[in-house]
Amino acid sequence: MTDDKLDTKAKILAIAEDLFAELGFDAASTRLIAKKADVNIAMLNYYFGGKEGLYMAIIERHILANRIKLQNINSDNISSFEKLYRFIDGYVDNMRRNLAVQKLMYIEMSLTLRSQLNEQIVELLSKNLVQVKRIIDDGVSNGSFAKVDSDMLIASMFGTKIYLINASPMASILFNGHANSKDLLDDEMVVRLKNHLKTMFKLYLTKS
């Protein structure tokens, strides 16, 4: 593929990501995306096969980038706690950096209108989940971590994330005293969230 075609695809992806995040999947029409990207709908369909293909290309790009980071953490010659803390730092940073995309992704997974899309997202995320579980399971196996219900521990972390992203008005009341916070995940909250998750994991995983 030539550089011009790569640039065009990247431009379409960037604009579609912004529109999906702003308007939602249904309201972000291919006609609008094509107009904003200054391409025709035929070209958009040629590259991505339609709106669902375009949406999945955006989601897949983010999930695969995170999987590579997780694989690198698991392959590093560092302690299990260092792997865990490095994962948490990256997890929270990615959560803030790609907030709109993740919010849209979790909304889609909660719906049944596009079951095939949901299945594709879950399949992609499940491979990342294997890498997260490996950090904990390896730590248990090598004696660094206590034996715990790792599934519940990971679910607690994901639950916190989903609460902050998809129930942000309630989260804003809890953390800021009102429901209209424009930037719930500001610098202070990012530090608080990282510290909370590290403390929670350490308390559960430290051997008594």
Give per-residue pLDDT as tens, 103-149: 778 877 777 666 788 888 889 999 999 999 999 999 999 999 999 99
Query: In the prediction, which pLDDT does 132 show?
Result: 96
pLDDT tens sequence across 146-197: 999 999 999 999 999 989 988 888 888 998 887 766 678 889 999 999 999 9
Query: Looking at the 3D structure of the chain, how many domains does it have?
Result: 2
What pLDDT is stored for residue 3 in this prediction? 57
Q: Are 34 and 51 in contact (CB under 8 A)?
A: no
Are 81 and 96 in a shared domain? yes
Instruction: Identify the residue with better confidence: 112 or 28.
Output: 28
pLDDT in tens, 69-90: 999 999 999 999 999 999 999 9
- The predicted structure's pLDDT at residue 49: 92
pLDDT tier at 16 (50, 70, 90 boundaries)?
very high
Q: Which helix (H) or strand (E) holds 1?
A: none
Is residue 45 located within the same domain as residue 71? no
Claim to verify: residue 43 and residue 91 sit in the same structural domain = no
Same domain, 45 and 65: no
Residues 106 and 161 in one domain: yes
Domain end point (choices 49, 66, 86): 49
Please check whether residues 136 and 36 belong to one and the same domain: no
Where residue 64 sits, what CATH number does that domain have? Answer: 1.10.357.10
Q: What's the pLDDT score for residue 181?
A: 63
Q: Choose the final residue of a domain: 30, 49, 68.
A: 49
**Non-local CB neighbours of 18 within 8 Å, separated by 6+ positions:** none
Shared domain check, 42 and 90? no
Which domain covers residue 174, as residue numbers?
Answer: 56-205
* Residue 45, domain CATH: 1.10.10.60
Alpha carbons 124 and 206: distance in angstroms, whole number? 31
Q: What is the model's pLDDT at position 90?
A: 96
**Are 90 and 173 in a shared domain?**
yes
Q: Which residues contact 85 (CB under 8 A, 6 or more apart)?
A: 198
Q: Answer yes or no: do 62 and 148 share one domain.
A: yes
Q: Tokens standing for 18?
A: 């912004």
> pLDDT tens for residues 86-102?
999 999 999 998 887 88
